[in-house]
Amino acid sequence: MINTLIEYLRFPFVRYAIIVGVLIALCSALLGVTLVLKRFSFIGDGLSHVAFGAMAIAGVLNISNEMLLVLPVTVVSAVLLLKTGNNTRIKGDAAIAMISVGALAFGYLLMNIFSTSSNLSGDVCSTLFGSTSILTLTTREVVLCAVLSIASIIIFILFYNRIFAVTFDESFAKAAGLNTEGINLLIAVIIAVIIVLAMNLVGSLLISALVIFPALSAMRIFKSFKKVTISSAVLSVVCALSGILVSILAGTPTGSTIVAADVVCFALCCAAGVLRGKI
Amino acid sequence: MALISVEGLATGYESRLLKDDISFTVEEGSYLCIVGENGSGKTTLMKTLLNLIEPVSGQIRMNGLTHKEIGYLPQQTDVQRDFPASVKEIVLSGCQGRCGMRPFYSRAEKKLAADNMERMGITELKDKCYRELSGGQQQRVLLARALCAAKKVLLLDEPVTGLDPRAAMEMYEVISGLNREGMTIIMISHDIEAALKYATHILHMGSNIFFGTREEYVNSDTGRFFLREGGVQA
């Protein structure tokens, strides 16, 4: 088995998949802690559907580099969604649900009406579940992905203390003179970027898993914000790595294998948390 | 001259008027209690003082004090009740206002946080998880955090809500101790008895607004009516 693995690792596309997978898993786990605690677990889901809709439009318009359309549209939706969180007329969760299914419906509708490919359901399926796209990344996509995720990680580290303050108590942070709107905007932009990147990895239906599972697993065991953040990043990377390797060896779809690894990891952490509570 | 003076202030959300013609002054070292029925605009007033929401009209003048230098103890939110954070992390986040553009805390700020934990008697809890503390301990943590931000003034929004009588009593003593050390206190309270016991000044929010010293309040019509309603002997 080790030999087959080494054999596979000779191919550049496998190495690309691993690099991209690890970076995206790392970023999504870092932001995931904040989103889960701010009660925004579903934002990943909503935004990924928006990205799906945007991708359908890009396909219809025959835009060669989809990112140019998908990224700005998703960023704008993220900003709008986090803003409506404070709005009283439409609550945050309802707004997310609305945008999410709306974008999904329009995306599929457009793909159907202006179908350019002979295998429509195959296209839809791979956008939704990211079946093999991670293994067909071009060098340019890998570089873009690496740059954006490393930038997100650096920004997260620099703003770590402020993100903590805003997550724990927004009104106190604002009273202390922190630009809370600015920080929320930053969180929204980073999460949108990560979600667009993660579509390659797990597809748009499974992104929420990448965002929330590592954070929830880490919270079962650890008790300080720093430990939760670090361990959720570590768990996420381990799960992504093992998911990718298993999927290569066993020929399973990459995205769902990673998510399955996350679920198993969550179950183990729950058990560990319970055991720890008893001791 | 007064530390904070408020003149003809009208508060509300997005220019929807909630309460108008609020006037009072806060002297340095005094202890002001804001009392009144639910929905009378006490918390809105406090948020306006902190510049969290814009005043609809009127003036708030601060003498040698900026908004950032007011320590704030908000009411607890649902998010906080099961938040995975250590006591140390939370207290340290009170120094955020001092950081400016600097991304990390300085040694002086860490020292300040440690001193304030000592002051609140929670040093031995510093690595404990916030959600595992008792209500009284949680309030002490939030108070230590507020002290990290406060130079002269503490604003407390119902600091004893949800505490058992003994923890509430202890909380009042802690706050009163801070006041004796020279900290100016502004507190929203439902507990009129405690307000009369500790406060030097009372601001009553209701259909008519009363502001004055404790003694003036007890002898005023508003005060007498409210005290009778609450069944308190003054």
CATH number, domain of A81, equals 1.10.3470.10
A132: in domain:
yes
What rounded mean pLDDT belongs to chain B? 86
pLDDT score recorded for residue A261: 94
Report helix, strand or coil for A265: helix
Query: CA nearest B103 in A: which residue?
Result: A158
**How many folded domains does chain A comprise?**
1
Burial A19-37 (b: 16+ CB within 10 A, else e): ebbbbbbbbbbbbbbbbbb
Across the range A6-29, mean pLDDT stands at 86
How confident is residue A214, by pLDDT bands cut at 50, 70 and 90? very high
Cβ distance of B97 and A178 shorter than 8 Å: yes
A54: in domain:
yes
The more confident residue out of A82 and B165 is: B165
Residue A171 pLDDT more than 60?
yes
Instruction: Compute CA distances A222 → B87, B137, B181, B207, whole Å.
Output: 14, 20, 38, 50
Cβ distance of A169 and B97 shorter than 8 Å: no
pLDDT score recorded for residue B234: 46
The answer to whether the CB of A74 falls within 8 A of the CB of A49 is no
Query: CA nearest B105 in A: which residue?
Result: A161
A249: in domain:
yes
A279: in domain:
no
Residue B43 near chain A (CB below 8 Å): no
Query: CA nearest B96 in A: which residue?
Result: A176
Across the range A113-128, mean pLDDT stands at 70
Reported ipTM exceeds the 0.90 cut: no
**Lowest-confidence segment of A124-128, A142-146, B41-45, B109-113 by average pLDDT:** A124-128
A181: in domain:
yes
Residue A72 pLDDT more than 70?
yes
**Domain containing residue A6:** 2-274
Cβ distance of A224 and B89 shorter than 8 Å: yes
For B20, which DSSP code? Answer: E
Residue B17 pLDDT more than 80?
no
pLDDT score recorded for residue A69: 85
B67 → closest Cβ in A160, A173, A177: A177
Residues in chain B with CB shorter than 8 Å from the CB of A154 are none
What rounded mean pLDDT belongs to chain A? 84
The more confident residue out of B212 and A118 is: B212
Please give, rounded to a whole number of angstroms, the shortest distance from the CA of B13 to a CA of chain A: 12
Across the range A125-145, mean pLDDT stands at 72
A265: in domain:
yes
Instruction: Compute CA distances B61 → A207, B3, B136, B146, B185, whole Å.
Output: 50, 8, 34, 22, 17
- The whole-angstrom separation of Cα A90 and Cα A168 is 23
- In this structure, is the dihedral angle defined by the CA atoms of residues B64, B66, B69 and B73, taken in order, positive or negative? positive
